[in-house]
Chains A and B, each alone.
Chain A
């Protein structure tokens, strides 16, 4: 069962074409991760899947229906997106921001309800931001802020959740925290998750379905254990590496080749 499908997409910003004849299929109820070198078009692909960018050719399908057929509100009830650097008004409180997630479910004749309130409180609790609820967003650390934005997407209660580099600017503990949260969401609610990640090892660890991209094309797609090979990493990233198995999760870990270095040895400037 495919949750999101892109067929023959031509993606461009003005005259600059990022991808041409781009095909992608993402399974429902799974965690899919897009990886690839910088500027390979993975964020652009995600934007097209979320209908933030209109392809100049080809079509995107959400479930069985063309994504262009949904009204803005209908789409926002089916698919939530966390953009790469989201903006909120200065001085907004965490609770007010997360409450905005209920917008697509509200009409002028049925605005805020008790159910909305419960969903928002649950989203706050799920992301561990309940105790921050009355704080201003500006006062929070990067990791806290990212969890608040995820809470906003959760409050939308959509079956599909798209995250554009949710771990950027976070330290390692927060990165793992955010990814664990996403995995939990997927397991518990069956939410289809699609994210763009930079770290290939994290991608292997958390993806059910890995999509490796390079220069606007999908090079390989499938379960990380099947897809990730030294040849693939060479082709996609131009990096020589070995693949070992993660002792915790049994997923592939990419170890780059290159000059072996002994910690602390040699001149400070050696190797520069």
Chain B
């Protein structure tokens, strides 16, 4: 023994590994041995089931109620003409759009909150949705399209995507300091950018023709009214591109929820990973906003709800997407039914439910003494 003999140290490093197989890490997924926790898997399946039920309900329930078996018949082309029209042309595209937009918002929120390590970081609070709004409104008003529904302007998605990307680039650039960005700085800058962009949108609306402005206003509140298959296709295509990218980034996504130094020490190229994940989040939020308007609070709440359900420390990514879909479908159902026959824009419902949640989050963050 050397000089290090303060006390008879037990031979700690020689402790033999337990012979018995421990099952405390979760279930292994053959063939790669990825780990899945039973509870997380169960919650994911349950939320998926809830989203499916909400999808069926929103196709079935309405002023003209269609029983579920008639819905199935309408889909397979053996139903009555009325039911087929309502299911195929009106309710199904709308419900599918809601589902896909919800998934996109849920994923976007989880990505952003993980990257910034801040539950307040959500595309709808830190300027990304505001950028998409400005871009979308600009495309509507300056693009001068005159189609019937605000959501069907063909230039809106591109305007929204461009606006969101510009807003994200501005946030990223301004939050950059000493060769890196911190999540907290990104959120603060984002709140400022949000304010500036909201003002810009108002200015655009103020100098626009009153009819066009009122149509843009409906889009701006966030509405799923009158969404057709073209929206569902557009969303589906965007998710088809983004989701594989996001899944490929799942390890960086998990590691970034630790400190930058820890993530780097564990072998993650932090800056590149953060940039890619933020980009994925911005694109998802932008396409969702383009399709349904800047629906508030879904991206904010879905990851936190998902995390509380699964009971994990990390924000569960796929479950966040599923929760987003379920939330938006239920909110849209409520928007259609609460004051029937008047239909509310879904953004009003999510706002009414989401605002108290945001307040709770802020109060709690203050009590804990940190923003995360």
Binding site for B on A (CB under 8 A): 13-14, 50-52, 72-77, 80-83, 85-93, 95-96, 99-101, 103-104, 108-114, 117-119, 121-122, 125-128, 133-134, 152-153, 156, 176, 180-181, 183-185, 187-189, 206, 248-251
Contact = CB atoms under 8 A, between A and B. Distances in A.
Nearest to A76: B267
Contact of A13 (B17, B178, B259, B266): B178
B313 A109 contact: no
Given A13-B178, A100-B266, A188-B13, A121 B33 contact: no
B15 interface: yes
A248 B6 contact: yes
**Residue of B22, B35, B262 with most chain A CB atoms under a 10 A cut-off:** B262
Contacts of A83: 259, 261-262, 265
Contacts of A73: 267
Contacts of B257: 89
Interface stretch (B24-32, B197-205, B285-293, B334-342): B24-32
Contacts of A93: 313
B182 to A, nearest CB: 11
B260 to A, nearest CB: 8
27 contacts: A50-B265, A52-B261, A72-B269, A76-B265, A77-B267, A83-B265, A86-B258, A86-B261, A89-B313, A100-B258, A104-B267, A111-B33, A118-B18, A119-B17, A121-B18, A121-B22, A122-B13, A122-B15, A180-B4, A181-B12, A184-B4, A184-B13, A187-B2, A187-B4, A248-B6, A249-B4, A250-B3
A180 B9 contact: yes
A81 B313 contact: no
Nearest to B259: A87
Contacts of A13: 178
B117 interface: yes
A95 B24 contact: yes
B255 interface: yes
A86 B25 contact: no
A117 B28 CA distance: 12
Contact of B262 (A86, A109, A119): A86
Contacts of A51: 264
B52 interface: no
Contact of A112 (B12, B28, B269): B28
Contact of A88 (B13, B32, B262, B268): B262
Interface in B131-153: none
A122 B3 contact: no
Nearest to B372: A90
Contacts of A109: 32
Nearest first, the 6 closest Cβ-Cβ pairs linking A and B are A76-B267, A87-B259, A92-B313, A83-B261, A125-B15, A118-B17
B34 interface: yes
Given A13-B178, A81-B261, 13 more contacts: A14-B177, A73-B267, A76-B266, A86-B258, A88-B259, A93-B313, A109-B32, A122-B17, A126-B13, A126-B15, A180-B6, A181-B12, A184-B9
Interface residues of B, number: 41
A62 to B, nearest CB: 14
Interface string B240-273: 0000000000010001011101101111110000
A117 B265 contact: no
B267 A103 contact: yes
Contacts of B251: 103, 108
Nearest to A88: B258
B207 interface: no
B187 to A, nearest CB: 16
Given A125-B15, A128-B12, A184-B9, A99 B265 contact: no
B155 interface: no
Nearest to A122: B17
Nearest to A188: B13
A50 to B, nearest CB: 7
B367 interface: no
Nearest to A127: B12
A52 B313 CA distance: 26
A206 B267 contact: no
Nearest to A182: B4
Contacts of B9: 180, 184
Nearest to B31: A109
A109 B262 CA distance: 24
A250 B5 CA distance: 12
Interface string B25-50: 10010001111000000000000000
A156 B257 CA distance: 18
Contacts of B32: 108-111
A117 B25 contact: yes
